[in-house]
Amino acid sequence: MEINREMLEKAAQEVKEPMIAFAQKIIRRRSDTGHEKETADAIYEEMQKLGFDVVNRDRTGNVIGILKGDGSEAALMFNCHMDQVDPGDLSAWEYDPYGGIIADGYIHGRGASDTKGTIATQIYLGAMLKNLNVKLKRDLIFTFVVEEEPGDMWGALRMCQDYLKDTPIAFCISGESTSMDIALGHRGKLEVQVISKGKNSHSSAPWLGINAVSKMAPMIEAIDEMAKNMPQDDIFKGSLSIINIECHPGFNCVVPDTCTINIDYRFLVNETVESILAKFQKIIDELEAKDPESSYEVRVRQLEHTSYTGVHEFAELNKPSFVTSIDNEYVQKTIGALKKVGQNPKTYYWDYGTDAAYFVKECGITCIGYSPAEEEYCHSPKDRIKISLMEEALVGYAAICEDIACE
């Protein structure tokens, strides 16, 4: 297939209506983390209906579709996640979060921007390429994973280790929101837990115990000071936020013996888990030296997962930072392909984290983000995706495939 903007735009028009209908269909299927089955079933059935060469589901419930190439070069992968966050306060929504309603040029609903609208776009890219009878030198692998929202990349990890372990993949395009621009990486995210340890007593006689909540107060003050002087490099500035606090037993007339805080620590490429934990350990050492009654522990938070297929595991909430060079050959080909069809994407870095970090750091796959979804609507009661951008992304995705994956 020789690149031709008019031809691609016409082909995109031919799949526009079923693409929109499918986006509505999966937005109407609630898929909170761990409960993605109905959405996964719909995706599986749609790719089968559209004639993908391979449609599979791994043991964890990730859904994979493949358009086969001649195998002469490593695959091009597209990726999105199927799970969504809870809609929260329903009164804050103008449109039913599970209505998939079309209004003002958008499809509205929870997950539309993160990432169900892009899932529909990527799947119908496959349909569009089949309609164009393109000849592929690379397999196109479409991967839709479970349990991305918790932030530990567990769904992506299971898919790569269980299903794609021996599959050579050269380049991945993440469908996380980019507003048609190109994301080249993001900071890392480590969820750190600090636990203060005390001693129970009846709360009417607190002098008999050691209040773990009170002992946490100077720790919080020290962490707030740390937040004022976070590391910075030429691309990123680190940040941290205390996002949760709880104590045990936390009821009746008992002085609590433990207090735990969770810290969302966003870090730079050159930071490591060990170097980050060492910062907290330094605070612990200083506080314990000042107050012999104080006792603390620091660790990486572990999250328990049970997929909708029943796979049960724990995973550390550790998502690395990554940067893909703008000079990378696949990035340059992507930019060139998009310019050929009238798009002029800027490059930037996501504020949030993505499963792309796993593909880059653990699998050695070059990865970028390129998507019709807009970040401002993610996780908000205005969750939506613009239909015209879905059409543009179809053309853009096809142009990228022509330059990178076609004979």
Beta-strand pair 182-186/347-350: parallel
Q: Which amino acid is at 317?
A: L
Average pLDDT of the segment spanning 122-129: 97
pLDDT at 407: 79
pLDDT at position 1 over 80: no
> Of 322, 308, 380, nearest to 354 (Cα)?
322
Average pLDDT of the segment spanning 1-23: 91
Residues 6+ apart with CB under 8 A from 292: none
Mean pLDDT of the chain: 97
CA distance 116 to 158: 21
Beta-strand pair 102-103/239-248: unpaired
User: At 4, is the pLDDT very low, low, confident or very high (cuts 50, 70, 90)?
Assistant: confident
End-to-end CA distance of the chain: 8
Exposure string for 190-224, b = 16+ CB within 10 A, e = fewer: bbbbbbbebebbeeeeeeebbbbbbbbebbbebbe
| Contact status, residue 42 vs residue 25, Cβ threshold 8 Å | yes
pLDDT at 353: 96
pLDDT at 3: 63
CA distance 7 to 302: 50
CA distance 87 to 109: 9
Q: Which helix (H) or strand (E) holds 171?
A: strand 169-174
| Contact status, residue 256 vs residue 198, Cβ threshold 8 Å | yes
User: At 2, is the pLDDT very low, low, confident or very high (cuts 50, 70, 90)?
Assistant: low
What is the tens place of the pLDDT at every residue in 81-119? Answer: 999 999 999 999 999 999 999 999 999 999 999 999 999
Exposure string for 36-67, b = 16+ CB within 10 A, e = fewer: bbbbbbbbbebbeebebeebebbebbbbbbbb
What is the tens place of the pLDDT at every residue in 192-219? Answer: 999 999 999 999 999 999 999 999 999 9
User: At 176, is the pLDDT very low, low, confident or very high (cuts 50, 70, 90)?
Assistant: very high
Average pLDDT of the segment spanning 7-22: 96
H helix intervals, 94-153: 117-131
What is the tens place of the pLDDT at every residue in 223-263? Answer: 999 999 999 999 999 999 999 999 999 988 999 999 999 99
pLDDT at 300: 98
Give the whole-number percent of the chain exceeding pLDDT 70.
99
What is the tens place of the pLDDT at every residue in 305-364? Answer: 999 999 999 999 999 999 999 999 999 999 999 999 999 999 999 999 999 999 999 999
Residues 6+ apart with CB under 8 A from 296: 194, 195, 196, 197, 215, 219, 284, 287, 288
101: burial class by Cβ within 10 Å (0-12, 13-18, 19+)?
A: middle
> Of 161, 159, 80, nearest to 124 (Cα)?
80
Average pLDDT of the segment spanning 49-56: 98
Tell me the two tokens of residue 10: 């016409």
